[in-house]
């Protein structure tokens, strides 16, 4: 399982997901505390953020360990946004290790990350194509196809998760999607936590030991917007 995190709220830097917290994604890349599958996340990393002057989010992805990129601390310190995403990757056996297989995947305003694994045959019928042979890239393509049709995020994620899980009951489908003004995450086979304060912080596992982190129950969908946060069962 990879580890991912996102923020929706008053503008803050990418460092707040990666470098500043004790258990930020930098540390979760080599010493995650709750990872059930795999032990380190050294097969790449990616970040994405929204700049009000641009119509689409900015991404930076690499296929090297997050700790090996000497330029990232500088970039993460100045990349500030009210909507942020970051992910570190532990590639599933057989999946390519390349930038195009690394989250966040993107389409228009959307950014997507996946913790888990799914048989590609289970998602190919739902997806028009994929930028990489990686299962997560296929899954992202399936989600983006429905979002392009105008189906809201709140309906799209349960549709894709149910469809993929029906075809592959052993699939693990923790998805995280940002749209700039909204954020959604599924818990389906791995841990997911949320911390509510002046905004909402969502992460595979807590980024620090502050009180207030709440576990999202398995098979639930978390939806966050400026109006608040809602957690609902997927099935
Ligand atoms: N299956 C995805 C990949 O290979 C995600 C892996 C993970 O969550 N560890 O990248």
List domains and CATH numbers for the chain: 3-233 (3.60.20.10)
What value does the CA radius of gyration of the chain take, rounded to a whole number of Å?
16
The two three-digit tokens of residue 53, written as one number: 């002057």
User: Is-contact 32 41, C-beta < 8 A?
Assistant: yes
Q: Among residues 103, 106, 115, 139, which one has the least CA distance to residue 204?
A: 115
Q: Identify the residue whose C-alpha is closest to ligand 1 atom 7.
A: 1
Q: Would you say the CB of residue 89 lies under 6 angstroms from ligand 1?
A: yes
Beta strand segments in 38-178, E: 45-49, 58-62, 80-88, 105-107, 110-117, 172-178
pLDDT tens, the chain, 235 aa long: 599 999 999 999 999 999 999 999 999 999 999 988 888 999 999 999 999 999 999 999 999 999 999 999 999 999 999 999 999 999 999 999 999 999 999 999 999 999 999 999 999 999 999 999 999 999 999 999 999 999 999 999 999 999 999 999 999 999 999 999 999 999 999 999 999 999 999 999 999 999 999 999 999 999 999 999 999 999 7
The two three-digit tokens of residue 184, written as one number: 């959604």
- Residue 152: phi and psi, rounded to 5, are -60, 155
CA of 1 to the centre of ligand 1 (A): 6
ipTM exceeding 0.90, yes/no = yes
* Alpha-carbon span 103 to 89, nearest angstrom: 8
CA of 115 to the centre of ligand 1 (A): 6
Angle between helical axes of 153-167 and 135-148 (0-180°, round to 10): 140
The two three-digit tokens of residue 163, written as one number: 């469809």
The two three-digit tokens of residue 188, written as one number: 């389906």
2 is catalytic: yes
Q: Would you say the CB of residue 116 lies under 6 angstroms from ligand 1?
A: yes
């Amino acid at each position: 399982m990879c580890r991912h995190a996102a923020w929706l709220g008053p503008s803050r830097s990418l460092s707040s997901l990666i470098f500043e917290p004790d258990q930020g994604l930098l540390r979760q890349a080599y010493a995650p505390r709750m990872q059930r599958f795999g032990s380190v996340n050294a097969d790449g990393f990616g970040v994405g953020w929204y700049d009000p002057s641009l119509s689409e989010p900015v991404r930076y992805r690499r296929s090297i360990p997050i700790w090996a990129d000497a330029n990232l601390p500088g970039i993460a310190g100045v990349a500030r946004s009210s909507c942020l995403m970051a992910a570190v990757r532990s590639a599933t056996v057989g999946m390519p290790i390349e930038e195009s297989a690394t989250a966040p995947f993107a389409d228009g305003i959307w950014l997507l990350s996946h913790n888990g694994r799914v048989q590609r045959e289970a998602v190919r019928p739902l997806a028009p194509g994929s930028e990489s042979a990686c299962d997560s890239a296929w899954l992202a393509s399936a989600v983006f196809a429905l979002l392009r049709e105008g189906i809201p995020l709140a309906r799209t994620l349960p549709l894709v998760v149910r469809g993929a899980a029906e075809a592959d009951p052993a699939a693990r489908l923790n998805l995280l999607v940002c749209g700039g003004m909204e954020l959604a995450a599924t818990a389906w086979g791995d841990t997911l936590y949320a911390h509510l304060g002046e905004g909402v912080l969502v992460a595979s596992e807590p980024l620090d030991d502050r009180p207030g982190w709440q576990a999202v129950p398995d098979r639930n969908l978390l939806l966050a917007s400026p109006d608040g946060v809602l957690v609902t069962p997927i099935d």
